[in-house]
Amino acid sequence: SSSSDPRTAVSGLFCGVRSNSSTDPNYIPTFVEDMQSLSLKLTTRRFATQSMNSTPSNSKTNSTSVFALVQCHKDLSPSDC
């Protein structure tokens, strides 16, 4: 959350069984790359979505999926977004 903007909100919705993504060596680099992509999309649009699917190298069936959504209010400048 942000102390300077009371409209900032962080939310999470988990479907099914939550896995321990920290055991997946691909998760963090993939997550960071996708969040950077999401941030870049937000600089050109006021709304963006991104999804990722990270599968550990030692597993063919278990994967970690993350879906992200961001929206910027019209009264905020592009730099504030």
pLDDT in tens, 50-65: 887 766 556 566 667 7
Q: Is 27 exposed, middle or buried (0-12, 13-18, 19+ CB in 10 A)?
A: buried
For 28, the domain range is: 21-71
- Length of the chain as a residue count: 81
pLDDT band, residue 21 (cuts 50/70/90): low
| 11 in any annotated domain | no
Question: What does the pLDDT read at residue 61?
Answer: 60
Does residue 13 belong to any structural domain of this protein? no
Instruction: Report if residue 65 sits inside a domain.
Output: yes
Residue 34 lies in a domain: yes
pLDDT band, residue 43 (cuts 50/70/90): confident
Q: Which residue, 30, 17, 38, 77, is CA-closest to 56?
A: 30
How high is the pLDDT of residue 2? Answer: 46
Domain count, the chain: 1
- In this prediction the pTM is 0.57
pLDDT of 29 over the 80 cut = yes
